[in-house]
Structure 1
C-alpha cells in the first residue's frame, strides 16, 4: 500500500505542511515535532518524493557547469571530479559548452537560460569579461571558478607562477639558460589566465638572472599540438641557439617535440622540452612536466559550491598541489615520438 504525506501528518498529529517541513529537516519545525514526524514516516516506510521536495523548497538539486570544452584532458577530468562530488549528495550537473576556436569569438554567456534551472554555478576554464560576470551575478546564485578565476568569487586551481618557477629551476639545474617559452592564446587576453601566470613566472626567472626574455623568446598560439609545433618552429628559426623550451601545457610541449624532431634535433640532448599537466600521454612520450590533479580540483570546487549554497563562506583562492615529474625530455635519456 502506497503511503501518503497526508497519512504521515494524520498519524503524527500535525498539518500536512508541518509534516513536509519536518521531513525536509527545515529549521522552522520544533525538534520534538520533527523527530515525531520522521519516526512515523520511518515506521510507515514513507519516503518523500524528490520532485515534491524540489517543488516545495524551490531547489532544483542541479548545478550549472559552464565550460568551453568537454573533450580535452584538463576539462574532462575536472568535469568528472565535479560530478563525483555532486553525485555524493544526489545533485546533478547541467552542462553548458561554449566552443572556443582561434580567431572566432565564442557565444556570450546568457544568464536567462540558467534562471530557475540551477542552484549554483561552476565555471570551468572560462575567461569571462566583467559584463558576463555581472550578468551571472544577477541570478543571485553562488559561483565557484576552476582555473581562470574572478576576484569576487572563489577559485580552485594551481599557482601558475609557481609552476613556471618550478620548471625553470629544474631546467637551470640541467644547465640551461637559453630557455624559450610557448604560451596559450589567453596570454594577452586576461591578466588572471593560466598562460599569463606561467609566462610571468618564466619571464621573472630570466629577468632576475639577466637572461634573454624579450618578445622574440616567446610565442603564443592555440592550446593544441599544432600550435605547439608552429610556435616551436618560429622560435627555432628566430633563435637557433635555444637549448630548452618551456611550454605552458603538455599538448603544446608535444607539438614542440614534433617540431624539434622535424628539425633533426634529438630531444633530451640537442634540446630539452618541458610542459605542464602530466596528462596520460606525457609518461608515454617521456615528457618532463608539472603534475596537477584536475579531478581533485573539480571535486573540491563542487564541494565548495555546495557548502556556499548552505551559507558557508569559502576562501577566494584555493591552490591544488603540484609536483615536478622529471622524464627523458629534459635529458635523462632518449625521447622518440611515436607517430
Structure 2
C-alpha cells in the first residue's frame, strides 16, 4: 500500500503539505496542490477516510436536505453540489425531506446528530423554527438554497423579479392576453415559490395597465404532463384565448408547447410560451426561458459550505443572504402577436 511519505517524496514536499493539499484544510498554493494531487494519482494513493477523520476531526461528508429526488431542478442542483464536493474529496449523504412531520423529526433529531457530516446544505426547503434550531445546535456550517431564513446563510433567487422579467418580455413583444400556468396548492410549499411567481406576473401586468383575468390562470404540478393538461384547458375554453402563456417552470412550458401543437396552434406564430428554470430540454424545444442556472446554484452552495468549513475556526458564522443570478434567454417560442398572422 502506498504511503503518504512516498507521495511527499515524489511531489518534493513535506508530509504535512500532502495532508493539507489532499484534505483541503490549510493554505496550499494551487501549484503545490496540483503537484501533490498528480503525485498521489500516479502512485494510486487514496486518503484513508477513517485516518483522515481521526486526524482532522472531519468526516469529509456533507449532508444534503432535498424535497424531491425525481424532479429535474432538484437533481440538477444536486449534481452541482456533488460535482464540486467530489473534486475536493468530499462525499455527500442525501436526506429526502418530505412534508411528513415524523420523518422530518427523525432526520433532525437523530440522523443529523450522529456527527457523520461536516456541514449541511438545504435545497429549497423551508425549515421550521425548531428545525432551524436543531441545525444550529449541531455547530456545523449550514447553507440554504432558497430562503430567506434570517438565522442561516442563504442563497436566494428573487422569484418575484424572475416572474416579472418573464412577463415583461411578453408585454414588450405586444402581448396583452397573457395566461399563467402556476401550481396547485399542494405544490405551493417551501417558500411559496409558485405564489411569488404569480405575484411577479400580476405586478408586471398591473404596471403595464393590463388587468389580470382569473380565467387565464390554470394550476398544474410543475411537470410536462401537468403543463400539457393546463394548457389544453386554457386553449380549449370558449371565449377569448390567450396570445401568450407564462409557465412557472420550463417543464410546464414544454407541456404547454406540446398541447398547443396538438390543438393546431403554431408556436410562436399563434401562441408565445415562456418558462423559468433553464431546463436542458429548453434548447431542443426552442423555449424562451428565465435561466436560474440550477447547476451553478449547486456549485455555489458547495463552494460556500467548503469556504465555511475552512474558516469555521477563524470567524463567526455569516448569515448574510447571497443573491443568485438569473437571465432572460430568448429563443424561438416567443414573438410579437402580430406575427401570428400570415
**Shorter-chain TM band:** 0.7 to 0.9
The worse-fitting range, judged by mean Cα deviation, of 323-332 and 174-183 is: 323-332
Matches within 5 A, 1:153-168: 153-168=152-167
Given candidates 317, 322, 332, the residue that maps to 2:321 is 317
The answer on whether the counterparts of 1:187 and 1:195 sit within 8 Å (CA) in structure 2 is no
Alpha-carbon separation, structure 2, partners of 1:167 and 1:3: 57
**CA positional deviation for 1:328:** 1.9
CA deviations on 1:66-107 (whole Å, 9 max, x unpaired) are 11233433222211211232223322111122468xxx9994
**CA positional deviation for 1:161:** 1.8
SS at match of 2:281: helix
Given candidates 85, 97, 114, the residue that maps to 2:112 is 114
**CA positional deviation for 1:24:** 7.3
Alpha-carbon separation, structure 2, partners of 1:242 and 1:106: 44
- 1:292 aligns with 292
Matches within 5 A, 1:1-339: 50-98=49-97, 107-108=103-104, 110-111=107-108, 112-115=110-113, 116-185=115-184, 189-190=188-189, 192-236=191-235, 237=237, 240-309=240-309, 310-311=311-312, 312=315, 313-314=317-318, 316-331=320-335
Alpha-carbon separation, structure 1, partners of 2:3 and 2:86: 27
The answer on whether the counterparts of 2:179 and 2:244 sit within 8 Å (CA) in structure 1 is yes
**CA positional deviation for 1:188:** 7.8
**CA positional deviation for 1:47:** 10
**RMSD of aligned residue pairs (Cα, Å):** 3.6
**CA positional deviation for 1:189:** 4.1
Change over 3 Å in CA distance of 1:305–1:198 after alignment to 2: same
Alpha-carbon separation, structure 2, partners of 1:225 and 1:114: 35
Alpha-carbon separation, structure 1, partners of 2:296 and 2:102: 28
CA deviations on 1:280-308 (whole Å, 9 max, x unpaired) are 21111111111232222111111111222
The answer on whether the counterparts of 1:186 and 1:196 sit within 8 Å (CA) in structure 2 is no
The answer on whether the counterparts of 2:121 and 2:301 sit within 8 Å (CA) in structure 1 is yes
**CA positional deviation for 1:64:** 0.2
The answer on whether the counterparts of 2:188 and 2:194 sit within 8 Å (CA) in structure 1 is no
CA deviations on 1:235-278 (whole Å, 9 max, x unpaired) are 33276331111001110101112222333222212221110122
SS at match of 1:241: coil
Q: Between Structure 1 and Structure 2, how many residues are aligned?
A: 299
Change over 3 Å in CA distance of 1:167–1:240 after alignment to 2: same
The worse-fitting range, judged by mean Cα deviation, of 281-290 and 72-81 is: 72-81
Alpha-carbon separation, structure 2, partners of 1:155 and 1:257: 34
Alpha-carbon separation, structure 2, partners of 1:140 and 1:184: 36
The answer on whether the counterparts of 1:277 and 1:289 sit within 8 Å (CA) in structure 2 is yes
The worse-fitting range, judged by mean Cα deviation, of 200-209 and 80-89 is: 80-89
Q: Flag structure 2 segments of 5+ consecutive residues without an equivalent.
A: 6-14, 22-44
SS at match of 2:95: strand
The answer on whether the counterparts of 2:62 and 2:92 sit within 8 Å (CA) in structure 1 is yes
TM-score (norm 2): 0.75
**CA positional deviation for 1:119:** 1.3
SS at match of 2:176: coil
SS at match of 2:161: helix
SS at match of 1:330: coil
Change over 3 Å in CA distance of 1:175–1:99 after alignment to 2: same
Q: Flag structure 1 segments of 5+ consecutive residues without an equivalent.
A: 6-18, 26-45
